[in-house]
Amino acid sequence: NAGVTQTPKFQVLKTGQSMTLQCAQDMNHEYMSWYRQDPGMGLRLIHYSVGAGITDQGEVPNGYNVSRSTTEDFPLRLLSAAPSQTSVYFCASSSTTSGRKNEQFFGPGTRLTVL
């Protein structure tokens, strides 16, 4: 299993540009989520999904969109990038039914800089 994969690893955007951060998992997990981590801070939840076709907002959803058309993929879209969105973005997945439910598996992160 590859686990949770994220692309790209690094990205530089100009203010106003849009882009999509990709996240995929091959563990057949129902639950997926996106977090951002600013320097010296803990992780903050952006959006999450409890299954294909179902998404909901976390603590800091403004400026981001998500969709979940398949169990495996959960892309995060930045509609119009702003310098305040400079951060490290982590995707995570977990099972809601297996014996290891509630253990979240995190991807390696995408480091985004908005100029």
Partner 1 sequence: DAKTTQPPSMDCAEGRAANLPCNHSTISGNEYVYWYRQIHSQGPQYIIHGLKNNETNEMASLIITEDRKSSTLILPHATLRDTAVYYCIVRVSNTGNQFYFGTGTSLTVIP
Map the footprint of partner 1 across residues 33-52, applying CB under 8 A: 33, 35, 40-45, 48, 50
Rounded to whole angstroms, the Cα distance separating 40 from 28 reads 32
Rounded to whole angstroms, the Cα distance separating 18 from 92 reads 22
| Closer residue to partner 1 (CB): 14 or 40 | 40
18 within 8 A of 77, measured Cβ to Cβ? yes
In this structure, how many other beta carbons lie within 10 angstroms of the beta carbon of residue 85?
A: 20
| Closer residue to partner 1 (CB): 8 or 16 | 8
Phi-psi region of 76 (alpha: psi -120 to 50; beta: other; left: phi over 0): beta
Q: What is the pattern of x (binds partner 1, CB under 8 A) and - over residues 49-88?
A: -x-----x-xx----------------------------x
Name the site residues for partner 1 (rule: CB under 8 A). 4, 31, 33, 35, 40-45, 48, 50, 56, 58-59, 88, 90, 92, 94, 96, 101-109
